[in-house]
């Protein structure tokens, strides 16, 4: 009877996780989705304590409460701008957990009820070795992604001579180690599997450039799920299998969707270590070109006398936490009869949904926040496009420069608006490391400064009109 109750609770938890994913697909239902996920996790953890053979209750409770305290502290302290690297950090921990559980199952299978040390079934050996390999790749790959997002490593692709050949040799060595471990059960081969996978995780991520990091973070999320599912098969835990498969499949689907939005090949993004470096973008000599610089008063006048305004938020808005003052500006413009909407690029910021979360935090109406494919055609009939730090996703080089690293990526076509107000700290290049030629267009006006301060000045100027 006890086993049936545990399995039923696991099924209930799995259902909660599925509905949680469904809820997270929309900002309107995201809060309820999170609550369902919490309920599912609490149910799974609670019923696990009643599993037969489960012991050391006190130490496990202490570990859970300690980790929960650390997690709560990090969640309260971390700024939204650092959310992508936090996610990458979490992925690394999931990968590491998969490796450690695989080691535990290998050295003490009796504790998990899967066999006797040195006499494991071949299916268990396959499952734990694959789970450990994927987990190790996820661990080091996520650490490199974290370092790039945190600017501890350069965001540009890092390549060295013969890198693709070394990567291919390591993959072949990994498959060989997997094969010999499965047929022999020798622990030495398991150590070798983990070691090779750790190195591969590094080599797979360092060649990925900053423009493609959102896809990498999503794909690492998928890897962590498959690692968990593999260990779930080893332990015979249905909930771990279902949860891992959900995370793995959803992460893979999101990665494909993002690659489609960026006109990228997911093979080239994820397996860039096996290909030669792409040709470098040819620098354009803009020394003799001038940008037009404006100020808050002129920007307020243009905005207040417009019929239609589209705001394009980017990482600059996230860094300065300008979403709340932007909400105040939007309220003032709408009071003057201006139609204000927001245009969101699928990879704006550092991860999918980054801008949507920030705008939702400021209680901006969901109906005013439109995706690229829904609003791109409206720029040509828009009076003012206000770009707030969204550099790469508005760069016409994606359409005009075949040598550009972002060439082929669909962009928000703000250059078609009658007037562009571009808020930026300086003329520095974006995360992809290339200059935005939009700065030099005749209809573009630059507003230099911190996004929050610039918008505050615009709000003040609007109140004086």
Q: How many CB atoms lie within 10 A of CB 373?
A: 10
Query: How far apart, in Å, are the Cα atoms of 167 and each of 21, 145, 419?
Result: 35, 18, 49
DSSP state of 345: -
What DSSP letter does each residue of 54-89 carry, written as one string? ---HHHHHHHHHHHHHHHHHHHHH--GGGHHHHHHH
**Locate tokens 């690659």: which residue?**
259
Taking the C-alpha atoms of residue 317 and residue 81, their distance in angstroms, rounded to an integer, is 9
Q: Which of 287, 392, 401, 464 is flagged as catalytic? A: 392
E strands present in 372-436: 384-388, 419-424
Cβ distance 428 to 404 under 8 Å? no
Reading the block at residue 297, the tokens are: 């008063």
In a 3-state reduction of DSSP, which class is residue 236?
coil
Q: Is 392 a catalytic residue?
A: yes
How much is the CA Rg of the chain, to the nearest whole Å?
Answer: 25
Q: How many CB atoms lie within 10 A of CB 393?
A: 31
List alpha helices for 150-212, DSSP H: 163-184, 187-205
DSSP state of 402: T
> Which residues are designated catalytic?
392
């Amino acid at each position: 009877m006890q086993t049936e109750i545990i399995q039923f609770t696991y099924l209930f938890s799995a259902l909660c996780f599925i509905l949680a994913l469904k809820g997270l697909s929309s900002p309107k239902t995201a809060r309820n989705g999170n609550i369902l996920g919490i309920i599912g996790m609490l149910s799974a953890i609670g019923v696990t304590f009643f599993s037969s053979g489960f012991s050391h209750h006190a130490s496990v409770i202490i570990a859970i409460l300690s980790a929960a305290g650390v997690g709560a502290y990090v969640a309260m302290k971390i700024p939204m701008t650092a959310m992508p690297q936090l996610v990458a950090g979490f992925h690394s921990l999931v990968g590491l957990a998969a490796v450690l559980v695989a080691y535990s199952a290998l050295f003490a299978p009796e504790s998990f009820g899967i066999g006797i040390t040195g006499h494991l079934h071949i299916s268990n050996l396959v499952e734990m070795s694959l789970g450990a390999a994927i987990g190790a790749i996820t661990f080091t790959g996520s650490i490199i992604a974290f370092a790039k997002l945190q600017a501890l490593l350069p965001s540009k692709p890092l390549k060295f001579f013969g890198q693709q050949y070394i990567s291919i040799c390591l993959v072949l060595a990994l498959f060989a180690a997997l094969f010999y471990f499965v047929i022999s059960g020798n622990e030495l081969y398991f150590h070798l599997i983990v070691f090779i996978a750790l190195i591969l995780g590094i080599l797979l991520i360092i060649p990925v450039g900053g423009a493609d990091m959102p896809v990498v973070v999503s794909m690492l999320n998928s890897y962590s799920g498959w690692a968990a599912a593999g260990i779930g098969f080893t332990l015979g835990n249905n909930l771990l299998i279902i949860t891992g498969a959900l995370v793995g499949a959803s992460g893979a689907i999101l990665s494909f969707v993002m690659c489609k939005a960026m006109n990228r090949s997911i093979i080239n993004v994820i397996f860039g270590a096996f290909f030669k470096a792409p040709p470098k973008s040819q620098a354009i000599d803009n020394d003799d070109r001038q940008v037009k610089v404006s100020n808050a008063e002129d920007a307020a006048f243009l905005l207040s006398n417009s019929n239609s305004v589209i705001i394009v938020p980017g990482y600059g808005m996230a860094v300065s936490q300008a979403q709340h003052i932007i909400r105040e500006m939007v309220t003032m413009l709408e009071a003057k009869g201006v139609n204000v909407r927001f245009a969101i690029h699928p990879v704006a910021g550092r991860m999918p949904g980054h801008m949507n979360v920030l705008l939702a935090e400021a209680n901006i109406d969901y109906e005013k926040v439109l995706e690229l494919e829904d609003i791109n055609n409206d720029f040509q009939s828009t009076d003012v496009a206000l770009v707030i730090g969204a550099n790469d996703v508005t760069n016409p080089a994606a359409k005009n420069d075949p040598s550009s690293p972002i060439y082929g990526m669909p962009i928000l076509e703000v250059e078609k608006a009658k007037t562009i107000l571009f808020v930026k700290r300086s003329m520095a290049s974006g995360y992809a490391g290339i200059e935005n030629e939009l700065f030099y267009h005749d209809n573009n006006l630059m507003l230099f400064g911190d996004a929050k301060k610039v918008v505050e000045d615009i709000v003040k100027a609007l109140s004086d009109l």
